[in-house]
Amino acid sequence: MFKLTYRKTKWIYALSSISLFIGILMSNSIYLMLALFMIITISGGYLIWFNDENVNRKHKKR
């Protein structure tokens, strides 16, 4: 779907983990939901990107 480099994902993971930590400290559901949403979307996008890369490599060999 959308391409993300490892550098970008690393930063987003850091931000999401910080927001998750803040959410736990403040017991705020909004922060927790935001962090979970970010993690799910980024991991999903990363998996899709990884699959696309594997497919491209297979086609290049042929």
Cα separation, 31 vs 11, whole angstroms = 17
Other C-beta atoms closer than 10 Å to the C-beta of 53 total: 11
Nearest to 32 by CA among 45, 44, 21: 21
Q: Model confidence over 1-42: pLDDT tens digits?
A: 455 565 666 777 777 777 777 777 777 677 777 777 777 777
Domain ranges of the chain: 6-54
Instruction: Decide if 24 contacts 50 (C-beta within 8 A).
Output: no
The reported pTM is: 0.34
Residue 49, pLDDT score: 63
Residue 40, pLDDT score: 75
DSSP summary character for residue 62: -
